[in-house]
């Protein structure tokens, strides 16, 4: 079960998980903004990109597509890890999901593979050129469609129709154009060519406990979550999600350090998260809080409670079962 599902679910298992994080997350007054405005303010913030979408479903595609565009805009500025901005994309998982449905439709599958490879090639090229980032919008919208398929595990109803390959609607294109303008004006100047950056960070073996959690980007130790929604107000579920990423990262470190003779994950790299932050794409605002805000004892309690929860529901995933003995030790610390 995904972290989002756990935070939005109404079942007793989900409610138990939500209680653990709600006891840990900071309130809105604990956050600061780069601009100096009151964090999450519906009155202080001014909408630079008004939410004028007619079709609500388009907002989902815009949210995912903007993440891809932001990666390339960041890669044009930050030299480090540039290749990671267009590699190992979640959209590839969508291609894999669809391949199961194309067994008897080879021409459609060939078209899909060709279009996906072309999209990735263009992302790579745009990292190294100065062409208008808006020229990538059609490419990233198709990648967004693929990512959405992967995360849902379900193909769209138009899968076997030509419309599946159609370009996005005009309102999607217009919205993304404006979001890119604001990002380049408000966010890009806050970083430099030698900034430390990690694209699409995952949080070790603990990510698998909640269906494969991953974040948007970490820049100079700040874990960012990009938000394209129209409401800038404080949402406890959004805060719980990004705080949850931090706790999963800390639990993964504990697991890897728990038993040096037990194989966990040689590829795991501890992410030294110093801040967590939201970038409100429609407002050009950054809300952040230092990790030092969290008392060490409170962090340990939250990790212990989460470990106990994962032990209690250890049938959720294979990685959880494999590390059950370590989770039990963490829960009983």
DSSP state of 189: G
Helices (H), 195-332: 205-209, 236-258, 296-312, 318-322, 324-331
Q: Answer for the pair 78, 193: CB distance below 8 angstroms, yes or no.
A: yes
Three-point CA angle 89, 244, 64, nearest 5°: 30
Residues 6+ apart with CB under 8 A from 238: 225, 227, 278
Cβ count near 218 (within 10 Å): 24
CA distances for 307 relative to 162, 244, 255, 292, 302, angstroms:
47, 12, 10, 22, 9
What is the spatial distance between Cα 57 and Cα 155, in angstroms, rounded to a whole number? Answer: 15
Q: Residue written as tokens 């090639």?
A: 121
Whole-angstrom Cα distance, residue 145 to residue 155? 10
> Could you tell me which of 60, 72, 287, 65 has the C-alpha nearest to residue 199?
72
pLDDT at 263 (0 to 100): 47
Q: Contact 215/241 with Cβ under 8 angstroms?
A: no
Domain coordinates in residue numbering, the chain: 1-52+193-333, 56-168
Cβ-count burial 303-319 (b if 16+ within 10 Å, e if not)? bbbbbbbbbebbebbeb
Residue 260 pLDDT: 53
Residue 317 has a pLDDT of: 57
CA distance linking residue 258 with residue 307, whole number of Å: 13
290, 274 contact by CB (below 8 A): yes
Per run of 10 residues, the mean pLDDT along the chain (length 333 residues) is: 90 95 97 97 96 94 98 96 94 90 84 95 94 97 94 74 86 98 98 96 88 93 97 97 96 80 62 97 98 95 93 67 70 72
Half-sphere exposure of 168 (CA within 13 A, CB side): 27
């Amino acid at each position: 079960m995904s972290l989002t599902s756990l935070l939005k679910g109404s079942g007793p298992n989900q409610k138990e998980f939500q209680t653990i994080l709600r006891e840990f997350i900071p309130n809105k007054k604990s956050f600061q903004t780069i601009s100096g405005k009151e964090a999450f303010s519906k009155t202080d913030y001014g909408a630079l990109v008004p939410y004028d979408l007619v079709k609500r479903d388009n907002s989902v595609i815009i949210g995912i597509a903007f993440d891809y565009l932001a990666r390339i805009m960041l890669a044009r500025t930050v030299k480090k890890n540039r290749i990671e901005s267009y590699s190992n994309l979640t959209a590839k998982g969508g291609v894999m999901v669809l391949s199961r449905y194309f067994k008897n439709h080879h021409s459609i599958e060939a078209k899909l593979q060709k279009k996906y490879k072309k999209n990735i090639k263009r992302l790579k090229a745009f990292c190294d050129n100065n062409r208008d980032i808006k020229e990538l919008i059609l490419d990233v919208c198709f990648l967004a469609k693929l990512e959405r398929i992967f995360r849902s595990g379900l193909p769209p109803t138009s899968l076997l129709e030509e419309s599946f390959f159609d370009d996005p609607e005009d309102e999607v294109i217009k919205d993304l154009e404006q979001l890119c303008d604001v990002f380049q004006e408000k966010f890009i100047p806050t970083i430099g060519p030698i900034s430390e950056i990690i694209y699409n960070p995952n949080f070790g073996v603990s990510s698998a406990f909640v269906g494969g959690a991953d974040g948007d980007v970490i820049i100079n130790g700040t874990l960012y979550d990009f938000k394209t929604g129209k409401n800038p107000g404080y949402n406890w579920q959004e805060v719980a999600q990004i705080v949850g990423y931090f706790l999963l990262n800390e639990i993964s470190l504990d697991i890897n350090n728990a038993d040096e003779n037990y194989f966990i994950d040689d590829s795991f790299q501890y992410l030294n998260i110093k801040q967590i932050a939201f970038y409100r794409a429609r407002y050009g605002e950054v809300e952040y809080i230092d990790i030092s805000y969290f008392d060490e004892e409170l962090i340990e309690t939250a990790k212990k409670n989460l470990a106990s929860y994962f032990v209690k529901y250890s049938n959720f995933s294979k990685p959880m079962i494999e590390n059950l003995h370590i989770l039990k030790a963490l829960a009983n610390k």
